[in-house]
A and B are shown apart, each in its own frame.
Chain A
């Protein structure tokens, strides 16, 4: 439990999460069907993921491996042995009318992930994380569009059997912003591990429990007791599918509950649905109607011995550790280090550049120029995957003084991104190669000769006049001269 002091009289928001993430594996969790994109509904199906009579599940080791990686990344306990259970309920997206999941012996327990909100770091306890199978997807057609109001419903089992990891946190969050920061951090970690693809539709699904607790319930240390946390009525908000969505949905729910309390009304213990388009949560069913899932052991899957996996499976350096190393090793500030570790690919690319060129220059080029231009175009670095060597070449051109930083950014990089051309070709086509010294010297002399007024102003002590003259030289050389050098040459001539 996180220690957070609260003031008397305050209303404190308490949030816990159940995060479902799709694991990136080639095949489904209990059969050999592909998890890749399909052209048609019900294309990636077989007797197992359709739940045909007599078909049996066989655990995909890649999913277990991904789960162990996650466990290591969140410092979880991974037991000697883990088991699968059946969660029994009827729903049309569930081929067997039970879901194979893990109940009291999950693969990960008691983990932790640190979040940073407004510069402050806080650990969030992860109570458990377990493997399970995704159901199919439903498409309601006609009528009211819901399962009970549609004219009919189509079922696509391509998704059925996709491996999921359900990550359950303690009620450690005190604001929707913390939730958002946690989800971002979690995604970053999962992507570093190579077990998750944020771009994939439906790859992240969040259920959140939110309650408002009166600070009067806090003890003398200002901490909320378990009793206080459990006594408050809470709502479970479902259908959240992004970080932003989580923050918005929970901010809405927080306000709704606080308003109710301030008006003296009781908050109903219920499940609520986040309606993204309307920006509100709506009541689904009361918690009293909660289902009994009749969990029991899945005898078709023998217990898995996983302890040795923890030793054998290696995970890459994680974002937080890498961030700290970058700050030390490359003397970067917090913001640059954070940008440069935002994805594994960015961080790897930066380290490649920093090993060849000045780390400062590399940091500017990756964190500011490249990510800035990509961000402006709403592009991800993954889209440049095959062209990173071209970006490296561009940095080399700057590092070796062959083109100016200004041209490199404003012309070469932008043209690369917009037109797909290679840097050398752009430099050639635009004539951006730095002009030789004689040419610059001639332009300097010409500028002095052509602008006696400015020369006179400079002589009278108006230092601003030099900027005008630099501009003239730059114009004459098509921007390919280095402004600093031009400045020095001008002063040398004028101060003579």
Chain B
């Protein structure tokens, strides 16, 4: 079995449909009826959902065959897919390196050809980072474009399900299938734009204005910067105009992101108590002790760290200092993006400031890992759409370029990204 998957499946979709004949990998935090959905956690090792996520219903109806539940960082908390309870996934585009995370299995399955397409989820870069590290395309949609019904929550105000694929147009076709309002997710909204996303992948960037936020380029590795700059030159050669823009708010993004994501996680993950489903401790004791023991056994280190920090950030006496402040930063970031996106069509930056880490390299330094999310997390805080598209290599390791658009500006970023192929 490919190490991209936690569980292999063969769930055939409808006879015909736009995805008929295509195979698809589904990140293992997206509920599949009758097929265990572990979230990469021992807590849910044997959890079999009694219902399908809305996106699973939609890819079924579109004719895709689900070939596996893809590996991921436990509950989506990671940048390397190494915190999964089943162990890491190798990077098919750079063996010996991590595939990125948290949707590392989804990106690796596509990069290795184990699946034609994949669904991932992106809370702070979890689709774009592995897409960049594995040399494939990944789209993080505008918040509310894709239903989250059935997506096991990590940080529900930030995350979206999105497609991963070898090409922009294939990713866009999958987005066409999964996008659109859902009665079961009250945060979904109809995209006011017209035309399919697939049709937007027309390879055209002529006349487009691309803003390059200095703050998102300065901190990147030299090799990453060089690959990024030559990709930008290629877009300019095809008729795009580029301009430097200032996004001062992003300096606060990583801190704000982790406070909000961990706070929400502390609440979202409270339900894993062993009463109704999932791991249950055999230890004696009253209900409180049983809950504590179950959670202590079922969760991995990174998950525990984030739950504890999130609980702290929401506590009386700290709520205003951390959680409320992070929300203020989020508002500022939104306004900052709105301001620059009123002047340019899209924003471009390296997706990740660094190339893929070697397997095992970064496990002991969570802070360094958190900082690697600097270019992706602002987009989630601002609820905006973004795409990561391959942009060359550095020392044989894939580099991704990120394009960010205004809310429901998926067609614009898809169009610009397709010009790099």
Chain A residues within 8 Å of B, Cβ to Cβ: 47, 50-59, 86, 88, 90, 92, 95-98, 147-148, 153, 155, 292, 294, 296-297, 299-302
Contact = CB atoms under 8 A, between A and B. Distances in A.
Given A54-B150, A153-B287, 19 more contacts: A47-B49, A47-B51, A50-B276, A51-B271, A52-B50, A53-B153, A53-B271, A53-B277, A54-B30, A54-B31, A90-B273, A92-B275, A97-B270, A97-B271, A147-B287, A294-B266, A294-B316, A300-B156, A300-B186
A322 to B, nearest CB: 38
A70 to B, nearest CB: 23
6 contacts: A53-B31, A53-B271, A54-B49, A55-B51, A95-B271, A292-B316
Contacts of A155: 275
Interface string B29-66: 11100000101000010010111010000000000000
B319 interface: yes
Nearest to B37: A53
B153 A54 contact: yes
Contacts of B30: 54
A58 B31 contact: no
B187 A88 contact: no
Contacts of B151: 54
B152 A98 contact: no
A301 B184 CA distance: 11
Given A47-B51, A51-B276, A296-B323, A90 B186 contact: no
A465 to B, nearest CB: 82
Nearest to B292: A90
A300 B187 contact: yes
Contacts of B277: 52-53
Contacts of B273: 90, 92, 97
A95 B276 contact: yes
A53 B149 contact: no
Interface string B265-281: 01100110101110000
Contacts of A296: 263-264, 267, 314, 319, 323
Contacts of A86: 267
Given A52-B49, A97-B273, A90 B149 contact: no
Given A98-B270, A302-B186, A53 B44 contact: yes
B143 to A, nearest CB: 10
Q: Give the most central of A297, A300, A301: most B CB within 10 Å.
A: A300
A266 to B, nearest CB: 26
A299 B319 contact: no
A155 B273 CA distance: 14
Contacts of A97: 270-271, 273
B238 interface: no
Interface string B129-155: 000000000000000000011111100
Contacts of A51: 271, 276
Nearest to B150: A54
B282 interface: no
B85 interface: no
A54 B271 contact: no
B267 A98 contact: yes
A58 B276 contact: no
A85 to B, nearest CB: 10
Contacts of A302: 186-187
Interface of B: 29-31, 37, 39, 44, 47, 49-51, 53, 148-153, 156-157, 183-187, 263-264, 266-267, 270-271, 273, 275-277, 286-288, 291, 311, 314-316, 319, 323
A344 B38 CA distance: 53
A56 B271 contact: no
Contact of B315 (A56, A292, A299): A292
A453 to B, nearest CB: 87
Contact of A56 (B148, B264, B323): B148
Given A47-B50, A52-B49, A301-B186, A92 B287 contact: yes
Given A95-B276, A299-B264, A53 B187 contact: no
Binding site of B, secondary structure by majority: helix, strand, loop or mixed?
loop
A153 B313 CA distance: 33
Contacts of B47: 53
Q: Give the most central of A147, A153, A292, A296: most B CB within 10 Å.
A: A296
A133 B277 CA distance: 21
A56 B270 contact: no
Contacts of A153: 287
B49 A57 contact: no
A389 B345 CA distance: 73
A56 B314 contact: no
A262 to B, nearest CB: 36
A420 to B, nearest CB: 47
Contacts of B152: 53-54
A494 B176 CA distance: 104
Q: Give the most central of A51, A52, A96: most B CB within 10 Å.
A: A52
A47 B277 CA distance: 12
Contacts of B150: 54-55
B74 to A, nearest CB: 13
Contact of A58 (B53, B184, B311, B315): B184
Nearest to B189: A302
A56 B149 contact: yes
Given A90-B288, A294-B319, A296-B323, A57 B186 contact: yes
A21 B161 CA distance: 38
A90 B291 contact: yes
A292 B317 CA distance: 10
A90 B293 CA distance: 14
Contacts of B314: 88, 294, 296
Contacts of A52: 49-51, 276-277
Q: Give the most central of A54, A55, A296: most B CB within 10 Å.
A: A54
A169 B288 CA distance: 33
A170 to B, nearest CB: 24
B267 A56 contact: no
Nearest to A301: B186
Nearest to A90: B291
A27 to B, nearest CB: 13
B293 to A, nearest CB: 13
Given A47-B50, A296-B323, A96 B156 contact: no
A148 B267 contact: no
Q: Give the most central of A47, A95, A153, A294: most B CB within 10 Å.
A: A294
Contacts of B156: 299-300
A300 B187 CA distance: 6
Please name the 9 residue pairs, one residue from A and one from B, whose CB atoms are nearest each other, closest first: A299-B157, A97-B270, A294-B314, A53-B152, A54-B150, A292-B316, A54-B31, A96-B271, A54-B152
Nearest to B151: A54
B264 to A, nearest CB: 7
A50 to B, nearest CB: 6
A298 to B, nearest CB: 9
Contacts of A92: 273, 275, 287
Nearest to B264: A299
A148 B152 CA distance: 31
Nearest to A86: B267
A96 B288 CA distance: 15
Contacts of B267: 86, 88, 98, 294, 296
B39 to A, nearest CB: 7
A292 B276 CA distance: 25
